[in-house]
Structure 1
Amino acid sequence: MSRKRTLFVRRLSEILQLAESEVVDRLCLDRRTGVRVNQLSPLGVDAVHRAIADLGLTLDPLGWCPDGYLLRGDKRVLSRSEVFGGGHAYIQNISSLVPALALEPAPAGSIIDLCAAPGGKTAHIAALVGNDARLWANDGIRPRLDKLREVTQQFHVRLAETTCHPAQYADKFIAERFDRVLLDAQCSGEGLVDLRESSALRYWTEQRVIDYGWLQRKMLVAACRLLRPGGILVYSTCTFGPEENEAPLSYLLRHHPVEVCPIEVDIDGFAPGTWRPGLRHWRTETFHPALAGARRILPGPAFEGFFVCKLRKLPD
C-alpha cells in the first residue's frame, strides 16, 4: 500500500469511526445504480415506468424519496435508451438525492443552486416544485455551463436565470435574495474514490483538502448573504474531510445569523446505520455544537460518501 493510500485510509478511519479494513471495503464496491423518474416528463410518470419495464429493467422504490429507485439490471440499457435520452428518467447515485429533499423547495418560491453543473440537483429541485418556482442556476466554471444547459433542457427544466459567477463572490453579482439556496460545493471528492483504481488518489493531498475548506468558507458566507431571513440553505459535499464540512460550517454558525435544522429524510429507515452526525471535534479543533445535527452518509452498497447540513437564516 502506498504512503498516500495509507494516510488516506487512516484519515477516513478516524473521521468515519470505522476500522481501516472496513474503510477499504466500502471504497471498493460496485454500487447499485440510482434512478429518479422525472415528474416533469411529458410522457407522465406511469408511462415512464412502463417504458423502463419494457427495457427489461426493474425499479425498486427507495421509500424516502418519492421518485427515487434502485435499478435492477444493466444501467447501460437505460442510459442508451430514449427513456434517458428524452429526459424521462435521470441516473444518479442515491446520496445525491438528499440535498434537494432536505432543501424542501416550495412552489412559487425563489431558489438558487449556486454550484449547479452538471444539473442533476437543479433538475431534481424543478421536479419537486413542478417547475413552479423562480429557479436560478449558477456555476462559476464556464465550460460546465454548456453541460448544465444541456441537462436542464433534456430533463424539461424551466429556469428563470442561468449565470456564471464564482460561488464565493455570488452575493456581489446577484442582487436578488432567495427563499432557498443550495450550495453543493466544489470539493476534493473523497466520497467518489474507488480504491480499486490505481489513479484513485492521483490528485488527493491533505493540503488540497485544506485549500478547499477555505474556498468553501467563502462560498458559505456568500450563500448566506443571498438568503432571506427565514430562508433555508442546504450545504452538501461528496467528501469526508472535516476541513471541508464541519470547519467552514462552524465558522458560518459563529459569525452569521444561522441555525442548524433537522434533515427530515429517512434514509436510516431504508439502510440502518447509513447516517452519522457531524463531528464535534477533529484533532485539535472543536466545532460548533449544533453541527451534531449535520449528517454524514457513509459509503456502502447503494450510497456514495456524502455530507449534508441544513440551515435556516435568522433575522439580522
Structure 2
Amino acid sequence: MEKHSVKQSAGALYLESARILKRIEKKLGCAKGLIYGSKFGDKRKLYAIIYEVLKYREVINEIIVQSRLMAYEKIEWHLAQVLVYDLCFGRGIRCGGKLKFIIIRQRDRLRSALDRIMSCRQAVRKEDLASSSSIMASGIPRYVRVNTLKMTKVKAIERFIANGFQYIPSDLVYNAGTVDITKLREKIFTSDIHIENLLVLPPKSDLHDNEMYLNGEVVLQDKASCIPAFTLNPPPQSCIIDACAAPGNKTSHLASIIGNVGKIYAFDISPNRIKTMRELLDKAGVTCVDLKRRNFLNVNVMEYEDVEYILLDPSCSGSGIVDRGDINAESKKLCNANKNRLQSLADFQLKALKQALSFPSVKKVVYSTCSMNVEENEEVVEAALKVFGNKYKLIPVLEDWPYRGMSGYAHWKFMFRSSPKTSTTGFFVALFSRITDQQTKLNTFFKRKASFHRSLLENYDSNTKRKRKKIKRFLRFKRKNISSDKEA
C-alpha cells in the first residue's frame, strides 16, 4: 500500500493533492473516493484544492507548456499543476522551502503565459477559463440535508436565518418541478419540494466552516443523491442493507429515516473507506449501522434472511457528476474510447442487482447510479427483470418528476433520471417491489378469467348458457380458494 504524509502543512497538502491527481489521471479511482480514502486529515482543504485544479486543469496545463516550466525546473507534473493553480488562481503559494523557491523563480513566466491565454480567449476574468462541466455545476444549487438525528428542519432554518440568510417559500423558487436559479440570490434559501428535510441554498454557498456542518447536524448532499434513500423509505425497526455504502451519506440518510430504530448492514471492501465511513457516521450520530468489510457479491443471502430493504448504489462510470471539474469529461471520453470497461461495469452492476433481488425476505430494492449511460441503467434494470420479473415489479420513482428513463425500453416510465436540467447532478434510480404470493394468485386468477371470457366470445353457439354456468362455478371455486388462503 502506498505510504503518504499525514502532516497538515501546506507542503503536505500540495504533495497529497498531486498524488491524488496522478491516480485520477491513471484511472485508479474517482476524486471523491481517493480523497475520502486519503490519510491527510483536513479533507475539506484537500477536496477544495483538487476540485479547483480539475476545474482549471486545461488552462493550467497550457500555462505549464507555454512557460516551459518543466524545461527550467525539475518538478513532477501533477505537483506543478497544484503549485501553478495556487499561484495563478488560488491564494498564492502557501508553503516554504524548495517548492516555493521553484515557483517564485518562475513566477513572471507563469503569469505572462496566463495573460497571453486570457487575451487569446478574450477572457475578462480568470473564472471565464473554467472547464464547461464546472460552469454547468455553478448553476446547480447547494443542497443541504438536515440530519434529523441531531436537529429538526425548523431549527436548522432558524439557525440559517440567525446566520444572515433569508428564507422564502418554495413556490417562489420552483418552476415545473425544478429550481429557478435566478431566484436564489446570495443568502436566499428555501425548502425542496420533493425531499423531506432538504434545504436549497445558492450554488456558491460555502458551508464547510458552518457550525451545523462541523457538528454533523446538516449534511452537504446533492438532491439526486438523496433520492435513493428517500425512495426506499424503510419504516422504523426495519432491517436494511446498504450494499456499496462508502462514503456513507446514503447510509446516514437511511439511519435518519428510521430514526436510528432498526438495523443497517453497510458493506464495503476497502478498509480506508470503512474507516472514513465510521468517522462520518459517528459525526452524524448514527448508532444503528453495522459496518461490514465484505464484498457484497460474496455475501450468503441466507445469513441475512431478515433483511427487507436494500439500497444498491454500485461503482459506475460517474458520467452524471458535474461538480468534479474535468472528471466528468474524462469519464465520458474513457467510456466512449473503452467500451470494454463500460461493459465490465455493467456486468458488475447486473451481478450486484441480481444478488440484491435474491435475498429471501426483501420487499424493496433501490438500484441507483450517478451515470448517464443506458448500459449501466435501463439495460441493467431490464436484464434483471428478465430473470426476476415473476417476483418483482417496478414502482414509479417520484411520479411528478419531469424526466423519466430513456424511451425505447419496456419500463422506462417507471425509472427516474436527473441532470443539470433538473438543477441536480446526473442520476438514475429504479425501485423494485416484490410481488406477494397473494398478488401472484390474483394475477393468475384474472388471467384465467379473461381467457374464459375470450373463449366464450369465440365459441358462441346454442350451448353458450351451459358454458356460462361452468365458468361461474369455476370462478366461485377460485374466489373461495383465494379467500381461504388469505385467511390462513
Q: Residues 213-236 of structure 1: CA distance to partner in whole angstroms, max 9, x if unpaired?
A: 00001100111122515x000000
Amino acid paired to 1:280: G
Give the Cα–Cα distance (whole angstroms) in 2 for the partners of residues 176 and 135 of structure 1. Answer: 13
Once the two structures are superposed, what CA deviation does each residue of 1:182-224 show, in whole Å capped at 9, x if it has no partner? 0011100000146963883167223322110000011001111
* Rounded Cα–Cα distance in structure 2 between residues aligned with 1:119 and 1:242: 26
Q: For 1:297, give the aligned amino acid.
A: S
Q: Who is 1:84 aligned against?
A: 213
What are the within-5 Å matches in structure 2 for residues 1-316 of structure 1?
A: 28-30=136-138, 31-41=140-150, 43-57=151-165, 58-72=188-202, 74-76=204-206, 78-171=207-300, 174-193=303-322, 197=326, 200-201=329-330, 204-205=334-335, 206-226=339-359, 228=361, 231-256=363-388, 257-264=391-398, 266=400, 268=401, 273=402, 275-281=403-409, 289-300=410-421, 302-314=423-435
- 8 Å contact from structure 2 (residues 261, 288) kept in 1: no
The verdict on how the C-alpha distance between 1:247 and 1:279 changes in structure 2, with shifts beyond 3 A counting, is: same
Decide whether aligned partners of structure 1 residues 26 and 252 sit closer, same or farther in structure 2, where only a CA change above 3 A counts: farther
CA distance in 1, matches of 2:412, 2:361: 22
> 2: CA distance between counterparts of 1:219 and 1:193?
25
Partner residue, 2:15: none
Q: Does the CA contact (< 8 Å) of 2:133 and 2:323 recur in 1?
A: no
CA deviations over 1:45-65 (Å, ceiling 9, x no partner)? 433322222333343111211
- Count of aligned pairs: 277
Superposed displacement of residue 86, structure 1 = 0.4
TM-score for both structures, normalised by structure 1: 0.79
What residue ranges of structure 2 are gaps of 5+ in the alignment?
1-131, 166-187, 438-488
Deviation per CA, 1:10-66: give whole Å up to 9, x if none. Answer: xxxxxxxxxxxxxx789833121111111111x544333222223333431112112
1:260-294 residue CA offsets vs partner (Å, 9 max, x unmatched): 1122464x3xxxx3x2234435xxxxxxx234311
Greater fraction of residues in strand: 1
Partner Cα separation in structure 2 for residue 198 and residue 263 of structure 1: 28
User: Quick one: distance in 1 between partners of 2:232 and 2:257?
Assistant: 10
Partner SS state of residue 219, structure 2: strand
> What amino acid is aligned across from residue 157 of structure 2 in structure 1?
H
Distance 1:146 1:126, change over 3 A: same
Q: 1:241 to 1:26 in 2, by over 3 A?
A: farther
Q: 1:212 is matched by which residue type in structure 2?
A: L
Alpha-carbon distance in 2 for matches of 1:164, 1:173: 18
Structure number with larger C-alpha Rg: 2
Q: Pick closer, same or farther for the CA change 1:121–1:251 going to 2, 3 Å.
A: same
Q: Is the 8 A contact 1:193 1:201 kept in 2?
A: no
> C-alpha displacement at 1:101, in angstroms?
1.1
Equivalent-residue separation in structure 2 for 1:56 and 1:174 (angstroms): 51
Q: Is the 8 A contact 2:364 2:431 kept in 1?
A: yes
Report the Cα distance in structure 2 between the residues aligned to 1:177 and 1:34, rounded to whole angstroms: 34
Q: Is contact 1:278-1:295 (8 Å) kept?
A: no
Tell me if structure 2 keeps the 8 A contact 1:187–1:237.
yes
Alignment TM-score, normalising by the size of structure 2: 0.52
- Ranked by relative contact order (alpha carbons within 8 Å, sequence separation 6 or more), the top structure is 1
Q: Secondary structure at the match of 1:117?
A: coil
**Contact 1:40/1:130 (<8 A) preserved:** yes
Amino acid at match of 1:296: R
* In structure 2, distance between residues paired with 1:200 and 1:128: 34
Kept in 1: contact 2:312–2:365 (CA 8 A): yes
The farther-off stretch of 232-241 and 292-301 is 292-301
Q: Which has the higher helix share?
A: 2
- The root-mean-square deviation of aligned C-alpha atoms, in Å, is 2.6
Instruction: Report Cα offsets for 1:60-90 as digits up to 9, x if no partner.
Output: 11121120111137532x2212210101111
Q: Distance in 2 between matches of 1:265 and 1:123?
A: 25
The one-letter code sitting in structure 2 at the alignment partner of 1:64 is: H
